[in-house]
Structure formats: structure tokens, C-alpha cells
Structure 1
């Protein structure tokens, strides 16, 4: 890997546990990096965190955010025989869960486990022909009793995360890991802070960091973070499902096709002037981009409603198999998104911002 800084950043972020509501380890990593680039860091009361990069105070106030949280699970109970019951946190499809490795995160560290599955040899015909309900799944940590589970430090309310180390694939541009949705955005936010520290003459004030609790109903951290920052403009940094795999008909970006230009989702429509501004940058800078219409939402859907309205855009990438244990992204898409974000931030002075407002 030619960029050791980037590789180390991706490895730390993707392998850290951070289910919605349990983002502390990811926030610590982000703070470790961002405090190298600014000594002004702000937090909302749910745990969203931003470094403040002060350029021209007369310019617009720009909020740039990934989200720290990943989909995962929570311990809800322990049986007498030592099996853990659990609650999904965020959007899961039950058929991607069986026989997958997990870590139960305790104060003493991670405890290994696997989501229960029944071998085919003992399944009835009826069981074979229908998916198992998540409510009938359990986590096996190899314990024989509730007492053994408690001795391991496990209690109801603890987070459970998928296991998938950062791994280069046959094409080394393709990287597999858990939680590209949305440690991609966390990583890109950190890289923007680094860029603005090294080239500080930007025509605006940038709040760059990440929100919490995006994966649960209400995209909650985005609401409180917008209240903290009161932005003029917002860039959400998020990964979306790729549509280039067998069985997917239409929609979604393809790996290696460039940054996703999200025009519409059920919570959001990109403002036309902002769309033209971003596409113009892509075409001027020869940045590959893909038009994208989404079925799911992002933090942009919430931040746009703050105050008198906040023009918002999603600077995204496609990722295969999000909301599962193992996702895949393409480094070329990441680089395209980074180039667009850096260029847009450099160009957004007060006059340019005013030009993208509806009049």
C-alpha cells in the first residue's frame, strides 16, 4: 500500500467497534487525528464531534460529516444454558446473519461469538424452505451457563459487532472490511481536516467531523449537530449500496465508476444550483462521477431542514454488501470523492455560496 497514512487510518476506523449509540471507540480515533490539525474541537450532547478549521470568517459556515456508527446488535438477555439473545441495531436482512462471527464488546475487551445456525442435516423440510426469523437466532460464545457468560463480563445492553478485518482483494484497489458504511465518511472527514491544516487559506469556516446514530430511525446525531453548528451548507459523506452485482436490476453505482452524485432519495432532493456546482467541478477537474437515485436516506435529509434551510449534498461512494458483515469499496471511488470534496471546499467563498441559493 503506497499511502501508509491512509491504510492505517482505514484499518483503525473499520476495525473499531461503533454500533449506533456506542460510538466512543470511533470518536476516540477521530479525535486522535483531528486534534493534530486543529485545537478547536466541538461536541454535541449525543456525541457527534467536529474540528473547526477557520479560514475566512466572512465566508460561509460549511458542515462536513461522515457518521461514526455502524449497523450491529445489542445483547438483550442470557439463557440458562449461556446463549445470548440480541436486538438488531440498524437495518439488517436476516439471511445475511446465520453462522457469522461477532464480537461482544465488554469493558474488558471483545468476546468471540457466532450467530447460531442449525446444520442442514437436522432441518425439517419446512425449516429448509423458509428463512429463519432473527428473533429465533442466538449468539454462542462457547459458554455452558448464564454464570459463565456473566464471568466473561457480558451483560444486557452491550454492543455486538461483526468481525471482518480490512483485507485487500485480488484487485488490490478493492478493499473488504466491515463498516465501510460509514467509516468511509469518517476517513474522508479526517483527510479534509489534514488538507485544510496543510493548505489553510480556504475562503470559509469548515466544521469537519462525524455524527452519531445515523443508522437508527431519525438520523438523530445530524439533528443535534446541526443545532450545534448552525451551518450555511452541508456535505454528508456516506457510502451507498452498489448496483453492480448479479441479481440487482438498475440503480446504484458501480465500483470504480467514481463519486456518487445523489440526486434524490425519499428524504432529500439535491438543490439544482448545488447539483450544477458539483457536477461542474467534476467536469472541470476530470473527476469521474455517477448519477444516483437512492432508496435510503442520509444525514442530508435531516440537516437540510435546520433553521431557514441548509443546502445539502451527499458526496458518496458505492460499496458492495453494506449492512452485512463484509463490504467492499474501490479506492478509485474514494479518491474521486476526495478530489471533489477538496475542490468544492476550496471554491466555496461567500459569493459562490450566494450563487447556489434559490432566487
Structure 2
């Protein structure tokens, strides 16, 4: 990968913390980069943010989400260990012995997630996934008073640690939180690509808050903008690693963005779905199809705003999401941007009116 600007943008997005409800750091990063492409920036009262291009009907919304899975300090033990509650979905197996950043009002502290040592677990305990309630964060404090002296307070957010890295195959990109800095990156690149183009619509492109805890920013942002068409940009579960079942498809890194055909939160609008598929085929943009029984994205709230918003999910496959590390493929990101650019350029008032309804 040769584009240093893209690499540094990815690094800044993924190395900036933003657990649900505490997205202020990555919000300011997003705002800085949106302002490079447009001075027309808006946000809702929770912190979802978009840049605006164009000035006419219809209104098109493209958004990733700012937040990443993390934790909240729920208690400080007498011995100085921190109990935590999950912010977003976590699986105990991926948490133990991982470093974290405790984001206190007085500065960041490094800690490690620990639990009772495996040497003293019973055979029955060894067979089970360790409960988060049995884990703690060790910041090296020797008492509650010392932890509080360091600046820790109940309610402080906790974020994962993993530096961004371009792997030897330079299309393979490792970072701690592609879910969902990938969507933020896509939204920014769409603005970059379209900032000098004459659009047949008004584009709002940016990111929501608190997706991982209930699609909350998606609801407020969609009600604020009242878009005619919406696209949620997120990540999907890559199925190209050992042990994955492939009965319902085979989502693979490097084979193109994912078009969501069903998940727990939404069945996409049929005519919009077909228009996106037709555009991908016309411009030879590779894509993959995802049909999920569970999971959901901001599209689940976008499509329910006001009188209903035809909505589509455009994601990229990612390995190891909802952990301390994940991997995506640069060409999937590029193709997602290309597909959205081509689709947005076609969404004039007549086309959008024809898409609405059945």
C-alpha cells in the first residue's frame, strides 16, 4: 500500500479511543478530517457528526459509527483492582491478559485484564468461559486509595490497546477497532472523492455514536437529517479462517465489500438493493452478499426514521472483531468507497422517487 495519506488516516482513526458514550476523542479526529473536505458540518445532540456536500433534493446519508467495544470501571476493590462492565458485546475468551487503557480525568493509565490464575481453577471452571464479572483490570495499584490517587474513578471508560500496523502483505491491515473505524474511513473517503463533483443530491457523510450499545446515535442522526436514502458502513464477520462454517456463504478478505441482504435489525429495501447490485455489476466492482440470523447495524434505525428510509448496508469483512485486534483488506475498503461514489452520483430526485415504496 503506497498511499501514505491513507495509512496515516487509518492509523489516527484506529489508535484514537472511543468506547460507547465516550467518543469525544475520535469525534474530534473525525471532525478535523471532515473539515478538510467541507466546511458544512453538523452534529446531533449526542455527538453523531456528518459533513455536507451539495445543496438540493434528495438527501443521502452515509455513516459509519464512531464507537468501539470497550468497558466501564464499575468498582475499585480495596486492593486497588478495577472491576469492569462491558460496553458492547464481549466474549470472555478474547479478554484475558490483554492490555487496556483506563481513560481517567487526569490522564490515561495502562492496565491488564486479569482473573484467578488457571493453575488454581477447578476442572469444572476450566471448561467454562470466564465471566467478565470474575475479571478485573490491574493498573499496578496496591490499594483503593492509591488507584484513586492515580486518578481512577468509577465510571471511567476503558479501551483496548493494539497499534495500527500494515502487515507484510500490504493489503492486510491490523488494528484494534476496525469495528467500526472502517466505516468512518469509508465515509471520509467518500467525502474526499465527491467534494469537487457536482452532485444531483445533498450528501451527508460521517459517523454515529453509541452503535455498539443499541444503535442510539443512528436514531437521533436520522431524525435530525431526515434522509431520503441511507447507507450504513460497517464490518461483517470474515469466514475465511480455520473452523468457520460456510453453509450460508463465504465472506473472504479481498473479495470485495459486503452487501447486507438480511440481519436481525433490517431487511434492506428491495429496489435500492437491486440498484446497488446493478451498479456494482456495471462498473465491475466486486462484492459479497451477507445473510445473517443475528447481528445488526445502524441501518436498523436509519430505515425506521420518519416515514421510512430505503437503506442499505455496505460493509467490509473483518477478522476477529469485538476483540483487541482485527484485520481488514485495503482493497475491500477501496471498493466500498468506489461503489458508494458511483451509487451516490446516480441518486437524483427522479431516481430516488422511483426507489421509494414497493
- The structural deviation recorded for 1:156 is 0.8
Deviations 1:35-58 (A, max 9, x none): 122222111111111111125x1x
CA–CA separation in structure 1 for the residues paired with 2:236 and 2:340: 17
1:12 equivalenced with 2:9 (yes/no): no
Following TM superposition, by how much is the alpha carbon of 1:253 offset from its aligned partner in structure 2, in angstroms? Answer: 1.4
1:119 positional shift: 3.7
Where does residue 217 of structure 2 map in the other structure?
A: 221
Structure 1 Cα separation of the partners of residues 242 and 115 of structure 2: 26
Match of 1:201 among 198, 203, 208: 198
1:107 corresponds to: 105
Superposition map of 1:167-206 within 5 A: 167-197=165-195, 199-206=196-203
How far off its partner does 1:313 sit? 0.4
Where does residue 236 of structure 1 map in the other structure?
A: 232
Partner of 1:74: 72
* Unaligned runs of at least 5 residues, structure 1: none
Instruction: Measure how far apart 1:357 and its partner are.
Output: 2.1
Which residue matches 1:212? 209
User: Which of structure 1's runs of 4+ aligned residues deviate more than 4 A?
Assistant: none
60-69 or 129-138: bigger deviation? 129-138
The residue number in structure 1 matching 2:48 is 48
Q: Choose the corresponding residue for 1:288, options 283, 286, 289.
A: 286
SS of structure 2 residue aligned to 1:354: helix
| Alignment of 1:312 onto 2:308 | no
Deviations 1:209-265 (A, max 9, x none): 111000003x11011101110110101111111111122212461111101011011
- DSSP-derived class of the 2:174 partner: strand
Cα contact 2:115–2:134 (8 A) shared by 1: no
- The Cα of 1:266 is off from its aligned counterpart by 1.5
Q: Is the partner of 1:269 in helix, strand or coil?
A: coil
Task: Give the superposed CA RMSD.
Answer: 1.3
Distance 2:198 2:232 in 1: 23
Compute the TM-score of the two structures, normalised by the length of structure 2: 0.96
- 2-structure distance, mates of 1:333, 1:16: 22
Shift of 1:118: 3.8
Q: Which moved more, 1:267-276 or 1:63-72?
A: 267-276
Aligned to 2:263: 265
Distance in 1 of aligned mates of 2:259 and 2:328: 16
The partner residue of 1:134 within 132, 135, 144 is: 132
Q: C-alpha displacement at 1:30, in angstroms?
A: 0.6
> 2-side partners of 1:121 and 1:88: how far apart?
26
**How many angstroms apart in 2 are the aligned matches of 1:10 and 1:282?**
25
Alignment match, 2:144: 146
Query: What's the counterpart of residue 87 of structure 2?
Result: 89
Distance in 2 of aligned mates of 1:200 and 1:30? 21
Per the TM alignment, residue 122 of structure 1 is displaced from its structure 2 partner at its CA by 3.1
Please state whether the residue corresponding to 2:327 is helix, strand or coil. strand
| Counterpart for residue 352 of structure 1 | 351
TM-score (norm 1): 0.96
Distance of 1:109 and 1:235 partners within structure 2: 36
The gaps in structure 2 that reach 5 residues or longer are: none
- Hey, what's the Cα distance between the residues in 1 that align with 2:128 and 2:91? 14
Give the secondary-structure state (helix, strand or coil) at the position aligned to 1:189: helix
CA shift for structure 1 position 128:
2.1
SS in structure 2 opposite 1:329? Answer: strand
Query: How far did residue 151 of structure 1 move?
Result: 1.4
Q: Is the CA contact 2:319–2:326 (under 8 Å) kept in the aligned structure 1?
A: yes
